[in-house]
Amino acid sequence: MKTEADVVIVGGGIMGLAIAYDLAKHHGQRNVVVLDQSYLCSGASGRNGGGVRAQWSSEDNVRLMRESVQICRDFAREHRINTWFRQGGYLFLARSDEKAKGLEESAKLQNECGLPTRMLTPSAARQVVPELSTEGVVAACYNPDDAVVFPWPFVWGYAEGARAHGVEVETFTTVTAIETTGGRVSAVVTDKGTIRTNIVVNAAGALSPEVARLVGVELPNHPHRHEICSSEPLKPWLEPLVADLSNGLYFSQSTRGEIVGGVSNHKVPSGADQRSSYRFLSLYSRALLQACPILGSVKILRQWAGLYDITPDSNPIVGKVDGLNGFFLSCGFMGHGFMMAPVIGKMMAKVIAGGPVPEVFERWNLRRFAQGSLLSEGMIIG
Ligand SMILES: Cc1cc2nc3c(=O)[nH]c(=O)nc-3n(C[C@H](O)[C@H](O)[C@H](O)COP(=O)(O)OP(=O)(O)OC[C@H]3O[C@@H](n4cnc5c(N)ncnc54)[C@H](O)[C@@H]3O)c2cc1C
């Protein structure tokens, strides 16, 4: 392992690797090290549902995720790896007038941003998914350009791309301390040695508060277990990812045929526990059969869990930390950091390389919590 680097990134999930890739490829920074305490894909980046969508309720998210969907679509060609990208759209269901109104307002905003999102009556939703039960559904919202992918090739693609441009990616290397000198970071201490550096990026996902604490910075985000499962493979029949905002249910069919999905489980306490539970299976089965009764005889083959990285206002924490030079944050991505990484990686790389700070990064800065200028986002799943 190197003993000196221009940039050290803590966390080899999709966020850390995307930043490293963009730093090396687009900003010529070759002396970059990515450190991960485990194997690639061990964090949320290897455990998620692979949903990428531009349907959001805030303009920042709509515009950024639209770009991210495009990067995801082109990823296979750029990185020469199969991503199982499937653009079948996202179909949101509302079971109350209040949720329907929220979808309607979001669809209007999305149309203003150039998205082809449209509101659907329950019967029109059945034209998109004929197997859907629309009992209790008040309205639906559909954007045919949203997509699902297989997450792992994105992590591998970024890692290989970064390595090809000179980045060192060190797995099974835990960051145990971060040294500072005169108000700026000066070294990263790991269980395999120390790397001297003036720039450290905290991309440790749901564990980012622990990494921030190493330099005395308190973050307001926390880990929260979310479970997910996958069925036996079926013939292709389900076009969009279906999401029900009333109970956090989502399910989609992967290119390989499995039905992959999850549901909210409000009884899960905060913490980094990643065990699977029977309660999840029971909640998921009930919600899934309510939405799509035909799936009653389908077998679940695998269930697993990962960590959402929850912030108080459902928006990320990115950029510099006031009072500590050289320490950057790229965390707090809730349950949608996978789809954010392609575009945020690019933007973070530009900022780290000395470029101007984008306006959205000012809004998403850590200082908003102390200032009480919290944001909102209403289209969170799960
Ligand atoms: C069940 C589930 C479903 C989801 N579905 C979606 C979805 O459909 N679409 C979507 O966009 N997002 C989804 N997400 C969210 C998405 O997976 C995450 O937001 C995203 O992967 C976060 O990426 P990351 O790189 O920030 O974090 P991670 O992938 O968690 O990577 C952080 C890395 O930091 C490492 N690390 C931590 N501490 C240290 C340390 N001290 N030293 C060294 N390394 C350290 C960890 O080992 C880890 O590999 C889902 C998440 C879950 C759990």
Q: Taking the domains of the chain in order of start, what are their residue ranges?
A: 7-46+152-221+313-371, 87-145+222-310
CATH pick for 87-145+222-310 out of 3.30.360.10, 2.10.109.10, 3.30.9.10, 3.10.180.10 = 3.30.9.10
> Would you state the pLDDT for residue 342?
98
> How far apart (Å, rounded) are the C-alpha atoms in residues 372 and 144?
37
> How far apart (Å, rounded) are the C-alpha atoms in residues 148 and 344?
19
**7-46+152-221+313-371 topology per CATH:** FAD/NAD(P)-binding domain (3.50.50)
Number of helices and strands (H, E) in the chain? 10, 19
Q: Which amino acid is at 320?
A: K
Place of tokens 């000196």: 4
Ligand 1 centre and the CA of 44: distance in Å? 3
> Would you state the pLDDT for residue 372?
95
Place of tokens 């933007």: 347
pLDDT, one tens digit for every residue, the chain (382 residues) = 999 999 999 999 999 999 999 999 999 999 999 999 999 999 999 999 999 999 999 999 999 999 999 999 999 999 999 999 999 999 999 999 999 999 999 999 999 999 999 999 999 999 999 999 999 999 999 999 999 999 999 999 999 999 999 999 999 999 999 999 999 999 999 999 999 999 999 999 999 999 999 999 999 999 999 999 999 999 999 999 999 999 999 999 999 999 999 999 989 999 999 999 999 999 999 999 999 999 999 999 999 999 999 999 999 999 999 999 999 999 999 999 999 999 999 999 999 999 999 999 999 999 999 999 999 999 998 7
Residue 303 contacts residue 276 (beta carbons within 8 Å): yes
Pocket of ligand 1 (CB under 6 A): 10-16, 35-38, 42-45, 47-51, 174-175, 203-207, 211, 226, 228, 262, 306-309, 333, 335-339
Ligand 1 centre and the CA of 198: distance in Å? 25
> Would you state the pLDDT for residue 177?
98
> How far apart (Å, rounded) are the C-alpha atoms in residues 196 and 7?
9
> Would you state the pLDDT for residue 382?
79
Q: If DSSP codes are grouped into helix, strand and coil, which group holds residue 243? A: strand
Ligand 1 centre and the CA of 206: distance in Å? 7
**Phi, psi (degrees; rounded to nearest 5) at 245:** -70, -15
Please choose from 68, 273, 333 the residue to mutate so as to test ligand 1's pocket, defined by most ligand atoms within 8 A of CB.
Answer: 333
Please choose from 48, 158, 174, 226 the residue to mutate so as to test ligand 1's pocket, defined by most ligand atoms within 8 A of CB.
Answer: 48
Ligand 1 centre and the CA of 100: distance in Å? 31
Give, using CA atoms, the residue closest to atom 25 of ligand 1.
13
Residue 50 contacts residue 379 (beta carbons within 8 Å): no
> How far apart (Å, rounded) are the C-alpha atoms in residues 141 and 294?
22
